[in-house]
Amino acid sequence: MPHQTDDTVLPRWAWLGVPLAIYFAHYVARAVLDAPVYDAWLLHESGLTEVGTVVVLAMACIGGVVATVWAFQRGDRVLAGFFALFSLGCLYFGGEEASWGQHWFGWATPDQWRALNNQAETNLHNSNSLAGSLLDQLPRNLLAIAMLVGGCILPIRRWLRGRSYAQGSFGYWAMPTFDCVVIGFVAPLASIPEKLFEAALGDVPYPFDIDGGEVKELMFAVFLCLYIVTVLVRIRRKAITPRPSAA
């Protein structure tokens, strides 16, 4: 008996093709481009990977603001608060990734800040000692767990049981749909191949040396953007659904 669910709102090319294409494009680029070209175009603060991360997070943040306003107008303060936190999270993630503009505008790091930051950048997540862990590794690990469990495992479980959230419920609006399954699996595990090579060989061989950490951050951003797109699609569908006429 086929599993019945209305838990997918995007076309297959969007939720399946886009995440896989973005991820594996790094391996293809590393294989076909000369090392200096790959370094210049994809790596470092001005590379496509990191710039793309910030741009995708900006789009996710804007989408979160739209969802927040919609939920507030709907009178659902809990849902509005959830999307507001989502938006602030995207803003923090993107701002930190760009060192709040330093990578793009090139200002100098003040001496007082330089002493507190292990990479001499105007951001918080590279702070020395415990502060850096609390502002970088902790939210990163929590987000990875949330993506893998909430974005991948739970939607698959609902699909296998042929269930979906009740229309209009908090879970219906806030929880990731089946559209997030692929990116929910790829994003938190994006750097695993590199780590396995390092553990087994002590180094990452060509063409797998793609700077897995930066690619992982990009995939995190793609997850957040794809997730909020599914929310906005459902909001739009609800807005254009004709109401039944009065008898």
The pLDDT of residue 145:
97
The pLDDT of residue 23:
97
The angle subtended at Cα 97 by Cα 92 and Cα 98, nearest 5°, is 105
Distance of CA 166 to the CA centre of its chain: 26
Q: How far apart are CA 71 and CA 76, in angstroms?
A: 5
The tens place of each residue's pLDDT in the chain, 247 residues long, gives 334 445 789 999 999 999 999 999 999 999 999 988 998 898 877 889 999 999 999 999 999 999 999 999 999 999 999 999 999 999 999 988 888 877 777 777 777 767 777 776 777 776 776 666 777 788 899 999 999 999 999 999 999 998 889 888 999 999 999 999 999 999 999 999 999 999 999 899 998 999 999 999 999 999 999 999 999 999 998 887 655 444 4
Long-range pairs for 121-127: beta carbons < 8 A, 24 or more residues apart: 123/95, 123/96, 123/99, 124/96, 125/96
SS3 129: helix
The pLDDT of residue 172:
94
Domain boundaries, the chain: 12-237
Which position has the token pair 């090139």?
A: 106
Q: How far apart are CA 234 and CA 238, in angstroms?
A: 6
The pLDDT of residue 101:
77
Q: How far apart are CA 231 and CA 176, in angstroms?
A: 8
